[in-house]
Chain A
Amino acid sequence: MSRLSDAELVQRCRQGSTEAWNGLVERFSRYVYAICSRGFGLGPDDAEDAFQEVFTRVYARLDSLRDDSAIRPWIAQTTRRVCLDRIAAASREEPMEEIETDRAGPTLDDFDEAFAVREALEELGEPCHDLLDRFFARDESYRTIGEELEIPPGTIASRISRCLDKLRKDFEGRKPGRSSSGEQ
């Protein structure tokens, strides 16, 4: 499923493939989670509710998507609406100043760029994919990474640097990714 384009994944979801739906959730889970929690600054409970609401809407309205390759921007806008609804609902229950809305945080453009880097990272291969994901996305220490990947902690910094260099080359030389064709 990880090699399918977004459009192919959407088509298989429409055909009722459980595997495709699992793949779609897997592909966009970080993106939705990050927009909810970092983009809109929702707390854990609200972020979880918003996360489930987004995928519930995506599942229920998949047939209304006109351009299957535009699933990512559609999910982004769905997530944005769900988060704004939650913030609006909270503002009716609490004074506005008590609501945590980190609007100075990353924008949707930032998350789109991060998603593109993530796609390149997924294709980078091991051990670079695992190494960079553990260090930057999972915030693991050199010690933990060294133990998990069975590599000397003293070599991790230089390995990360080499992997970033490889990622940069791949990313810069990358053709439009699996999600980019036909998108707005």
Chain B
Amino acid sequence: MIHASPYVEERLGHLIGLLPPAPEGWVRAAQEIPAFRAMLDDIVVRAEADEAFRAEVLADIEAAIAEAGHEPEPRAVDTLRYLIDSSSEA
């Protein structure tokens, strides 16, 4: 025996359908944010302490990120450049 009314079924189904799963790659990337930020912070700290390293990073930010074991995506490159620039202004 099925008790749910058509309206309730329709409404609950609609609400479940409002939250489809996010793409797996997006979720994984978001889960890696702490490790990614730690990597960036490490590079920035080294760059603050070592002018030669800072120049090396700024000359090829993609390579610096790749060397740290992360994908040098545009967002990562922009973030690292911003952080290094900000640290030099501080």
**How many whole Å from B30's CB to the nearest CB in chain A?**
4
**Which A-chain residue is minimally distant from B34 (CB atoms)?**
A21
Mask, B26-50, CB within 8 Å of A = 1, is: 1101110111010000000000000
Known contacts A33-B26, A139-B20, A162-B2, A168 near B12 by CB under 8 Å: yes
**Bound CA span A95–B21, Å:** 32
Please determine whether A114 and B31 come into contact, CB atoms closer than 8 angstroms: no
**Nearest 5 pairs of A and B residues by beta carbon:** A33-B22, A165-B4, A136-B16, A114-B18, A55-B30
**Bound CA span A132–B16, Å:** 8
**Bound CA span A26–B35, Å:** 17
Interface residues in A140-163 by Cβ distance below 8 A to B read 158, 161-162
Set of chain B residues within 8 Å of A117, measured between Cβ atoms: 12, 15-16
Set of chain B residues within 8 Å of A77, measured between Cβ atoms: none
Set of chain A residues within 8 Å of B34, measured between Cβ atoms: 16, 18, 21, 59
**How many whole Å from A81's CB to the nearest CB in chain B?**
17
Mask, A25-59, CB within 8 Å of B = 1, is: 11001111110001000000000110110011001
Residues in chain A within 8 A of chain B (CB atoms): 16, 18, 21-22, 25-26, 29-34, 38, 48-49, 51-52, 55-56, 59-60, 106, 110-111, 113-115, 117-118, 121, 132-133, 135-139, 158, 161-162, 164-165, 167-168, 171
**How many whole Å from B11's CB to the nearest CB in chain A?**
9
**How many whole Å from B43's CB to the nearest CB in chain A?**
17
Set of chain A residues within 8 Å of B13, measured between Cβ atoms: 132, 135-136, 164
Interface centre among A59, A115, A133, A165 (most CB of B within 10 A): A165
Provide 16 A-B residue pairs closer than 8 Å at the C-beta atoms, listed in order of the A residue. Answer: A18-B34, A21-B33, A25-B30, A29-B30, A30-B19, A31-B19, A33-B23, A34-B20, A59-B33, A111-B18, A135-B13, A136-B13, A137-B21, A158-B2, A162-B2, A171-B12
**Which A-chain residue is minimally distant from B4 (CB atoms)?**
A165
Set of chain A residues within 8 Å of B12, measured between Cβ atoms: 117, 164, 167-168, 171
Please determine whether B19 and A115 come into contact, CB atoms closer than 8 angstroms: yes
**Which A-chain residue is minimally distant from B79 (CB atoms)?**
A56
Set of chain B residues within 8 Å of A162, measured between Cβ atoms: 2
Set of chain B residues within 8 Å of A21, measured between Cβ atoms: 31, 33-34
The 8 Å CB contact of A113, one of B9, B15, B22, B37, is: B15
Mask, B54-66, CB within 8 Å of A = 1, is: 0000000000000
Known contacts A32-B22, A48-B26, A133 near B75 by CB under 8 Å: no
Please determine whether A59 and B26 come into contact, CB atoms closer than 8 angstroms: no
